Amino acid sequence: MSSIWSLRLISPFLVGANNLAKRKDGTYNRKLGDLMELKVAANPKPVKGVKTRDVVVDSETGVWVRLFIPTSVRNSSPVAEEAASSGKEEAHEESDKKLPVIFYFHGGGFTILSADFVLYDAFCRRLARKCEALVISVNYRRSPECRFPVAYDDCYAAVQWLRNQQHSSATVQSDDLLLPHNADLSHCFLMGDSAGGNIVHHVGLRVAGKDLTPVCIKAHILIQPFFGGEERTPSEKRSVPIISAASTDFYWRAYLPQGANRDHPACNIFGPNSSDLSNVPLPPSLVIAGGLDVLEDWEVRYVEGMKKAGKEVHYLFYKDGIHTFHLFNQRKIGLQLMLDMCAFIHGHCQ
């Protein structure tokens, strides 16, 4: 059975389980929702060449991040790549090769999932290994308990934390350093999927034009970003796996300020209430869309709007991609996406 049809069969169960925690009054049963999400603990011992560590970045809010730290740098030869893909471990010494830094903002409509959700832990581990990068996955506070703009505040705070961590490292013993010695803060990237892709855009707006030395954001990567508007687009009327227009409507009601509609600028980036981005100094961006995703039309509009605003935008379309297909490592396109993203990242590390 193909992966597409397998996902079509299991997606009603995934969606149904999530719907159990949604209440008609717009609130969310957090205890029930978290019970249905399989979480994994951080592991200081390397697994497939990557170790993980959880760090609180804001003691007042409780926001924390999971660091995915490559413990070795793989040979780039085809033989080594094949060994890695087959699960075989190679012996490598610690390297001084500079590691780009990727901030990862998870999806879930601002309401569900977390940095320690099993699929995000597995994906960020693959990302750190394949891209040979330090990945910082942010566990931001979720709605409806914490509405707009809390998710943006928390993720921006993580960027500030990284800057402060580097500044304080001179007074810390090497054994106690949180960051690997070869983390390259001059080559940082904002990456996220779904609601996390939305967060990439809005945190990117906050960062734009600010001097965060030694942190420098080189590019944005938005994987099937969660945008929308009051208009109902053709792709939102599709019957596709994992996500529906009804569920996206719920998430927007849960996150946006009370009384706001989907033309709020957090949702509709180039809508009637949004600001002109022409003079905002944004870095290049990579936008990824899938042909089996209700959000496809809004993603295309985002690309078009960014280009009209004079921004450098690269667009990748995967015809058979369901929403968040990268988490399911969906057959060949999951691997291709990883290769494409790593090529984009290393292309901006020159």
Structure tokens at 203: 């945190």
The Cα 95–Cα 99 span in angstroms is 10
The Cα 109–Cα 252 span in angstroms is 7
For residue 177, the 8-state DSSP code is -
Task: Identify residue 132 by its one-letter amino acid code.
Answer: E
Q: What is the CA radius of gyration of the chain?
A: 19
The Cα 241–Cα 247 span in angstroms is 12
Judge whether 116 and 39 are in contact, CB under 8 Å.
yes
Pick from 230, 228, 219: nearest CA to 297: 228
Return the number of other C-beta atoms located less than 10 Å from residue 41's C-beta: 9
Task: Identify residue 2 by its one-letter amino acid code.
Answer: S
For residue 268, the 8-state DSSP code is -
Residue numbers annotated as active site: 194, 293
**Max Cα–Cα distance, the chain, nearest Å:** 57
The Cα 104–Cα 136 span in angstroms is 6
Q: How far lies 99's CA from each of 32, 184, 199, 349, in Å?
A: 39, 5, 23, 10
Judge whether 138 and 61 are in contact, CB under 8 Å.
no
Strand partners, 99: 183
Which secondary structure element, helix H or strand E, spans residue 83, and what is its range? helix 78-85
Peptide bond preceding 234 in cis form (omega within 30 of 0): no
Judge whether 274 and 305 are in contact, CB under 8 Å.
no
